[in-house]
Amino acid sequence: MTMSPEPSGTVPDTAIYDRRESAVRSYARSMPRQFGRAEGVWMHDDQGGRYLDFLSGCSTLNYGHNHPILKQALLDYISADGIAHGLDLHTGAKQGFLTAFEDLILTPRGLDYRAMFTGPTGTNAVEAAIKLARKITGRELVIAFTNGFHGMTLGALACTGNAAKRGGAGVPLSHVAHEPYDGYYGPDVDTADLLEQRLADPSSGLDAPAAILVETVQGEGGLNAASPEWLRRIADIAKSHGALLIVDDIQAGCGRTGGFFSFEAMGFIPDIVTLAKSLSGMGLPFALTLLRPELDQWSPGEHNGTFRGNNHAFVTATAALRHFWSTEEFHRDIERRSQLLESRLLRIAAEHGFEARGRGMMRGINLGSGELAATVTAACFDAGLIIETSGAHDEVIKVLAPLVIDDAVLGIGLDILETKIREAAENNYAVAAE
Amino acid sequence: MTMSPEPSGTVPDTAIYDRRESAVRSYARSMPRQFGRAEGVWMHDDQGGRYLDFLSGCSTLNYGHNHPILKQALLDYISADGIAHGLDLHTGAKQGFLTAFEDLILTPRGLDYRAMFTGPTGTNAVEAAIKLARKITGRELVIAFTNGFHGMTLGALACTGNAAKRGGAGVPLSHVAHEPYDGYYGPDVDTADLLEQRLADPSSGLDAPAAILVETVQGEGGLNAASPEWLRRIADIAKSHGALLIVDDIQAGCGRTGGFFSFEAMGFIPDIVTLAKSLSGMGLPFALTLLRPELDQWSPGEHNGTFRGNNHAFVTATAALRHFWSTEEFHRDIERRSQLLESRLLRIAAEHGFEARGRGMMRGINLGSGELAATVTAACFDAGLIIETSGAHDEVIKVLAPLVIDDAVLGIGLDILETKIREAAENNYAVAAE
Amino acid sequence: MTMSPEPSGTVPDTAIYDRRESAVRSYARSMPRQFGRAEGVWMHDDQGGRYLDFLSGCSTLNYGHNHPILKQALLDYISADGIAHGLDLHTGAKQGFLTAFEDLILTPRGLDYRAMFTGPTGTNAVEAAIKLARKITGRELVIAFTNGFHGMTLGALACTGNAAKRGGAGVPLSHVAHEPYDGYYGPDVDTADLLEQRLADPSSGLDAPAAILVETVQGEGGLNAASPEWLRRIADIAKSHGALLIVDDIQAGCGRTGGFFSFEAMGFIPDIVTLAKSLSGMGLPFALTLLRPELDQWSPGEHNGTFRGNNHAFVTATAALRHFWSTEEFHRDIERRSQLLESRLLRIAAEHGFEARGRGMMRGINLGSGELAATVTAACFDAGLIIETSGAHDEVIKVLAPLVIDDAVLGIGLDILETKIREAAENNYAVAAE
Amino acid sequence: MTMSPEPSGTVPDTAIYDRRESAVRSYARSMPRQFGRAEGVWMHDDQGGRYLDFLSGCSTLNYGHNHPILKQALLDYISADGIAHGLDLHTGAKQGFLTAFEDLILTPRGLDYRAMFTGPTGTNAVEAAIKLARKITGRELVIAFTNGFHGMTLGALACTGNAAKRGGAGVPLSHVAHEPYDGYYGPDVDTADLLEQRLADPSSGLDAPAAILVETVQGEGGLNAASPEWLRRIADIAKSHGALLIVDDIQAGCGRTGGFFSFEAMGFIPDIVTLAKSLSGMGLPFALTLLRPELDQWSPGEHNGTFRGNNHAFVTATAALRHFWSTEEFHRDIERRSQLLESRLLRIAAEHGFEARGRGMMRGINLGSGELAATVTAACFDAGLIIETSGAHDEVIKVLAPLVIDDAVLGIGLDILETKIREAAENNYAVAAE
């Protein structure tokens, strides 16, 4: 196996982008290639370069690019003039998805949810979740957490912690309080205790919340993984204070941290769950808000949208559920790869005094410096590895390889990462020593 | 040609929907069939019924269902492992779209815009537009209009007029004022004058606006069509008061009212334009915010999202642009069909004293009563015609046939509509006379 | 009678003000004297100047400065160690006020209100009123009017129309919509119709209101007087849409427009009334929110404050009620002076093509230009007449003489005003003619 | 000396209150007497009862009721027809106050502030302070603290922690975050560290603040006294993050905690200070916002109000400054009485395992139970001692005796308190033991 990106001096003609695409584009800046074809863990640029994808569309491509089974299902559906767009009408594609989701996901896990097909973006699923929580409780405040990331539309953006994203709102972001996530104040402070104290205190200034909105692992926030104990505490606190617990499983769900849901086997059941990213399995826009049936108090059309219920995505999602989640095999594969990944990252981190973070196949290394991390990811890209950063200062390199990656290929990617971290770290020491 | 829906007593097994789909679903209630296949203007249910589609996914399917050219382009792309999901990386598919959009849409119309690929929903495009306007002006207030509809996420929902939708927010909707649309207070009151007076008055309580957000024809609001004169006034008012003019062309654009943009040849150029619905041409999730280049003051990633830049949609959108918008033929077809539609609707309206409304292929009849309109659309559905209502009281029957509809088929659908309106109106009179 | 202000070149030592008083001070700039003593309609500066007061503390001194009966009552109370500050405890002074208010104001007018002693500022009375309306209705929106003025604290400021005042908030002002006041769009547009249409339309974007907050005559907004018919319509609209009607009678009440309440004999009864300014009768801080008894759903202390219930003000207010409102004489005096004032203002206005405005003893002349009005008021001041402007552009000269002013003295003040308007107008014409 | 309240069975005729005063009244419920006369530390009811005042109008009467020197100054001023109400015109009374404030308060302490005379309520002074901070910084967020109390108008109420007060708003309270006060999470957690960490973290969700608003001792919040070290840290944090430091000294200032300002000698200087309550010295409505001169960026009239600049209050405040603050004697008296108070409270607290709290003459005992505290204060009232509670659960009995109280009389009041606490505690044990 070889990876052969073009020499870094050769860039495609990007005049059309400069002329016609908004300056808001971001990834295209650090990966200045034009891509065309992709399959499995590989992306190909237009100049013959091949890249190993350790970004996976920020966990949108857990089953890799254009998985052949999903791809074939979609080709068959389109060829047969299957309905592409049907608003929220009943379609065979939707029936297929709901049936598979019930049979393969809900029933085996003893979960009882209803599916709300929101506009096909994660932010829309979050908006629907917090709307519903506010409607049901008659309260306005949503408690979110430091470093949380939940989307860019106004309601979800208010729940997002990142200052640069928040600043884009142009209006003050209201009706949300950010409380410290697990471990935020270090290992000696139990932040669930702090939250409990404030909610129990009628003079704390923290209003009674409609919902507590939490990620079990914060992807954009720096791969902070909350402990199951802390999450159970948060679930208990929500319940005892009359708030709904919303787990935003958009990045951590669909197998990324092991199970289909990131909170499986943790001893609590959220009231509402949001899913998106890898749900379609092939990277198609698709989002879902799951509700406990007794919370399904929506009026018809109360939250609607043109693209709710993407039938192409129903088809690929159904194929993905049937292929990957009918047996325990995929889950076991993820577990094995997670351990491989964890041990490699721990070793790399230990070598340089860095910190390994995360859970399952959602892990990374905190380099302590956004500048250093950017150096590493740029070097990786030059070496044919697509990998990105997250965290408040973009200081955490995150490994979001497709879950279906071959163990050996995973190892090759990690070799590149290890080498580039070592080079950057040594160069850093050398500079510091001068 | 025959239409043969199943007898209305036969309904599919909808137990899975009752069990697993949220009560928020709406269209499935008035059209209780399960659909499978669709091509052109026809939708097919699972029981052999065929329906003429006068809804077109609320103007999302202007080129009909599964147009063969678009379909083939997509099949080819998928078969070749074209990238489905690439965040906002440069891809050949994106390059193709931007180039076609520049060549076939912008340049011929003398327009200079940059494209911002937002999350693939109309509401997200609107959120991006108003964020940007607020950022650039340093002001918070957005002026929207009575009966306007702009989406369901918190920022866009605040711009939406409908009380039932607004009530779903669960928090007060702020930073938006709704001013009267063209004709809102009847033909004798020029609402542009009213707006001008309030903005010119430093004691009116109407804060200086960041943007004026307007639809040229209000689709969900009841097919109210603003006059070009009024729209020019609004454009002038925006300019003179330091506000950006945002045209929400999500429903009225992409040929629905004649030109690619609904505001073509009206004598003003918006600062920002939002597009979605029919942009992909095949009903795939896709949204776009167009900005004048000097307004493109976004920081990289300041408004981001997982599914911004849907490559499948790039492919079909490019095919649609190249097929339909390379020559004047499609435009001429729309014009001809619009006149046919207009004359039929005027005749029907005149017969019963109702009011015809709209512009281009975005027209309807105000029956003055939501109950009556519901009776008519239900009867149409039973006769094999899918058609829906809009307006504050759902009192306006809207004809949103695919723009590619054969003139004769358009006539057949209108025959059904005419008959069902007559029957309902006569029954109404009879009841009233008793 | 002579008025003898100091030559305008002689100004007091204002170094302490420049050094220690905030730049927010305003009246001291246009009237650069230091005042010491005042009685009745006269104010005296420290340099022997005497001024006729046509401002009356913006209608706070309806009974003139230091009215001897009120003054003696207060001296007696203080001499006897009457409680000055008693939080909201029962005091003899409060009992006296409540009894007089019931006997002389409420009972004769057939009104049934409870008195809420808020913090002793008008803005606080307004805040209490809108809080209560929101609490009772469970709605957030307050409808206020163009050119309305209701105070400077955040809740009341949101109801105020003036852009310069609003801009001071530093945060967007929310939960209030400003609708056009009576006559705002000229004589041909009935703005009550416009409001009715918008509230009746579920798609207008105007949320269901908690309250409609209105001044019967807009003092700060330019002496716009709503017609009784329009006010009755507004009262009906409030009732039919489940909103409370709040009359802000802070400036127009206490006899300024004739009766004790400005809305007397107009055929409607507000749900809530706010009073302040002239309520104490001697210019002492005092404010009151009157509620229909069935609306008195406050919890104890739910809206509190240190200075609610100013006992000195109870004493002077009681003396004022007993002296002025026990018989019809004062009311008749106001009526007579109002007619005198009206006829003089109409004559002055007619001479120059200006517009006379207002009602009762709350009248003025719209000069159409803030610059011209400032020239006139400055010239009046130099001639010994204290008079000020209001309106969106400070273009309306307002005559707010004490209600107790002797008819002859009123005439003398109006003579000065007439002369200074004539001089300024002629000078204006002369300049324009050059 | 004897105290002789009427037998508790004799209550005044309160029919007028039931009929005409709003249910919002609070103190009158726990002290069901009608009061008439008061001097020094004594209040007299209409039935001959005499009460020792350990409430002092919640620290509004630091110099006692109707202090003879203040009273005489006011009588002289009124008798001479001194201007009672002059809007914000220069008056001799204002000049006198500003001069005394400069000479006796600012200059000796090396402080350079400008005085903004806001509406005469504490809440108005706070509103002005946060408006200015938002205007100057261009930011919206104000950081306030758990258990903080800052007023009832919408802007100040958002800064107040108490849930019952907040609930009265009827709209969500925005643009304020409540952070933990000194000691909130117990002695082992330095809450200044927590705040510092959150502000330094660009992904914490805590927006950059316009101001940090803090009380040095939280009066209503339960007599929590922040340490000087913590307050210095907060001052440093404000400075380093570009926020203004606002000390709300409305209750703790004017000598209550020792110096004229509560923050004297603590090693930091606030950017803005609010004063009210005891500022007039005689309980008259009066409020003041002090600004560093470079922050005095108000436009004329940008924050105005009818009663800003209460001339009666200027007169009594000036007399109070000259009488009490010209020498060190008063300060020394307060120090001595504070020690007496502290030692007595420590002894009482120690006897029952309760906790003594506070600083200077602003101290109390936390009984751990609102019910127990209410029993004690009711028993005190029956014994002729007016005393109240504060804290999240009204569990802290607060001793707010006039600062001028004779040491022996202070002792007598504390004897009553000690006895009633002992009786209630013993009764509690007895009940618990049954």
pLDDT classification of D13: cutoffs 50, 70, 90: low
- Out of A35-44, D2-11, D51-60, D353-362, pick the least confident: D2-11
Summarised one tens digit per residue, pLDDT across range A36-76 is 999 999 999 999 999 999 999 999 999 999 999 999 999 99
- Judging contacts by C-beta atoms under 8 Å, the chain C residues touching residue D149 are none
The shortest C-alpha distance from C148 to chain B (Å) reads: 8
Cβ B359 vs Cβ B258: under 8 Å: yes
Q: Name the token pair of B371.
A: 């109950």
Nearest-5° angle of CA D159, CA D165, CA D167? 100
**pLDDT band for position B410 (50/70/90)?**
very high
- Reported residue count of chain C is 434
Question: Model confidence over D68-97: pLDDT tens digits?
Answer: 999 999 999 999 999 999 999 999 999 999
Q: What are phi and psi of A363, to 5 degrees?
A: -135, 165
Residue A80 scores a pLDDT above 70: yes
Contact A22 B61 (CB under 8 A): no
Q: CB contact, 8 Å: B145 with chain C?
A: yes
Q: Which residues of chain B make contact with D301, given a CB cutoff of 8 A?
A: none
Q: What is the CATH number of domain B68-324?
A: 3.40.640.10
C248 to chain B, closest Cα gap in Å: 17
Count interface pairs B-C at CB distance under 8 A. Answer: 101
Residues B278-299 as b or e (16 or more Cβ within 10 Å = b):
bbbbbbbbbbbbbbbeebbebe
The confidence score (pLDDT) of residue B314 equals 98
* Selected residues 57-96 of chain D with any CB under 8 Å from a CB in chain A: none
ipTM over 0.90: yes
Asked if the Cβ–Cβ distance from B171 to D172 is below 8 Å, we say: yes
- Determine the pLDDT at residue B12: 54
Query: Would the pLDDT of C183 be above 90?
Result: yes
Q: What is the 3-state secondary structure (H, E, C) of chain A?
A: CCCCCCCCCCCCCCHHHHHHECCCCCHHHHCCCEEEEEEECEEEECCCCEEEECCHHHHCCCCCECCHHHHHHHHHHHHCCECCECCCCEEHHHHHHHHHHHHHHHHHHCCCCEEECCCCCHHHHHHHHHHHHHHHHCCCEEEEECCCCCCCCHHHHCCCCCHHHHHCCCCCCCCEEEECCCCCCCCCCCHHHHHHHHHHCCCCCCCCEEEEEECCEECCCCCEECCHHHHHHHHHHHHHCCCEEEEECCCCCCCCCCCCCCCCCCCCCCCEEEECHHHCCCCCCCCEEEECHHHCCCCCCCCCCCCCCEHHHHHHHHHHHHHHCCCCHHHHHHHHHHHHHHHHHHHHHHHHCCEEEEECCEEEEECCCHHHHHHHHHHHHHCCEECEEECCCCCEEEECCCCCCCHHHHHHHHHHHHHHHHHHHHHHHHHHHC
pLDDT tier for residue B6 given thresholds of 50, 70 and 90: very low
Name, in order, each residue with C-beta under 8 angstroms of A87's C-beta and a sequence gap of 6 or more: A306, A308, A309, B27, B55, B57, B58
Show which of residues 211-240 on chain C sit within 8 Å of chain D, judged by CB atoms.
none
For residue C140, count other CB atoms closer than 10 A to its CB. Answer: 23
Letter string b/e over residues B119-140, b meaning 16 or more CB atoms within 10 A of that residue's CB: bbbbbbbbbbbbbbbbbbbebb
Chain A's closest residue to C139, CA to CA, is A138
Give me the residues paired with residue A37 across strands: A44, B82
- Whether C171 contacts chain A with CB within 8 A: yes
Residues of chain C with CATH 3.40.640.10: 68-324
Is residue D5 predicted with pLDDT exceeding 70?
no
Cβ(D252)–Cβ(D87) under 8 Å? no
Provide the token pair at C382.
């130099």
What does the block give as tokens for B172? 């007060």
A66 is written with which tokens?
């254009």
Report the percent of chain A where pLDDT is more than 70: 96
- The residue among B432, D124, D84 whose CA lies nearest residue C118 is D124
DSSP E strands in D4-92: the ranges are 34-39, 42-45, 50-53, 90-91
Give the pLDDT confidence of A2-48 residue by residue, as tens digits. 454 444 444 456 899 999 999 999 999 999 999 999 999 999 999 99
pLDDT for B434 beyond 70: no
What residues of A are in contact with residue C171 (Cβ under 8 Å)? Answer: 172
Q: C171 to chain A, minimum CA–CA distance in Å?
A: 8
Q: From edge to edge, which strands make up the β-sheet containing D388-390?
A: D355-359, D362-366, D396-399, D388-390
Calpha distance D307→D129 (Å, rounded)? 17
How does strand A388-390 pair with strand A396-399?
A: antiparallel
Of A391 and D434, the one with more pLDDT: A391
Inter-chain CB proximity B203 and C162 less than 8 Å: yes
Helix axes B311-324, B68-79, angle to 10 degrees: 140
Reported confidence tier of residue B5, pLDDT bands at 50, 70, 90: very low
Q: Are A288 and A117 in contact (CB under 8 A)?
A: yes
As a whole number, the mean pLDDT across chain B is: 95
CATH 3.90.1150.10 location in chain C: 330-433
Which has the higher per-residue pLDDT, C429 or A421?
A: A421
Q: Where are the alpha helices (DSSP H) in B353-396?
A: 370-382
Average pLDDT, chain A: 95
Q: C154 in contact with B at a CB cutoff of 8 Å?
A: no
Residue of A nearest to D160 (CA): A205
Collect all residues with Cβ–Cβ distance below 8 Å to C398 and sequence separation of at least 6: C219, C223, C358, C362, C363, C364, C387, C388, C389, C390
What sign has the CA pseudo-torsion D290, D294, D295, D299? positive
| Whether the predicted pLDDT of A141 surpasses 70 | yes
Choose the mutation target among C198, C203, C214 for the interface with B, i.e. most B CBs under 10 Å.
Answer: C203
Asked if B85 and A282 come within 8 Å (Cβ–Cβ), the reply is yes
Helix crossing, C370-382 with C407-433: angle to 10°? 130
Q: In Å, how far from its chain's centre is CA A232?
A: 21
At residue A6, the pLDDT reads 44
Q: Which of B228, A321, A213, D67 is nearest to C85 (CA)?
A: D67
B178–chain D nearest CA distance, Å: 20
Tokens of C314: 């109870």
pTM of the model: 0.96
D129-138 exposure pattern, b = at least 16 Cβ within 10 A, e = fewer: bbbbbbbbbe
pLDDT tens digit sequence for C119-140 = 999 999 999 999 999 999 999 9
Q: Which of A46, A89, A165 sits opposite B27 (nearest CB)?
A: A89
Min Cα separation D323/chain B (Å): 47
Long-range pairs of D191-195 with CB within 8 A, sequence gap ≥ 24: D191/D230, D192/D230, D192/D233, D192/D234, D192/D237, D194/A180, D194/A185, D195/D143, D195/D234, D195/D237
pLDDT digit string, tens, across residues A168-223: 999 999 999 999 999 999 999 999 999 999 999 999 999 999 999 999 999 999 99
Residues of chain D contacting residue C89, judged by C-beta atoms under 8 Å apart? 27-28, 31, 33, 35
Confidence band for A431, pLDDT divided at 50, 70 and 90: confident
Contact call for C197 and B185, based on CB within 8 A = yes
B142–chain A nearest CA distance, Å: 11
Assigned token pair, A279: 């749900």
How confident is the model over D159-178, as a mean pLDDT? Answer: 96
CATH of C330-433, one of 3.40.50.300, 3.40.50.2300, 3.30.70.100, 3.90.1150.10: 3.90.1150.10
A54: which 2 tokens? 């350790």
Q: Which of C172, C110, C55, C120 is nearest to C316 (CA)?
A: C120
pLDDT in tens, C298-325: 999 999 999 999 999 999 999 999 999 9
Measure in Å the smallest separation between the Cα of A99 and chain B Cα atoms: 7
Does A7 lie at the interface with C, CB-CB under 8 angstroms? no
CB neighbour list of residue B245: distance below 8 Å, 6 or more residues apart: B211, B212, B214, B234, B235, B238, B239, B268, B270, B271, B272
- Using the Cβ of B11 and the Cβ atoms of chain A, whether some distance falls under 8 Å is answered with no
Sign of CA dihedral B323, B327, B333, B334: positive
Nearest to B306 by CA among A310, A34, A274, A121: A121
- Distance from C-alpha of C61 to C-alpha of D74, rounded to nearest angstrom: 19
Please report, in angstroms and rounded to a whole number, the separation of the first and last CA atoms in chain B: 39
Q: Does A108 touch chain B (CB under 8 A)?
A: no
Neighbours of C8 (CB within 10 A): 12
What would you report as the CA-atom Rg of chain B, rounded to the nearest whole angstrom? 22
Mean pLDDT to the nearest integer, D39-64 = 97
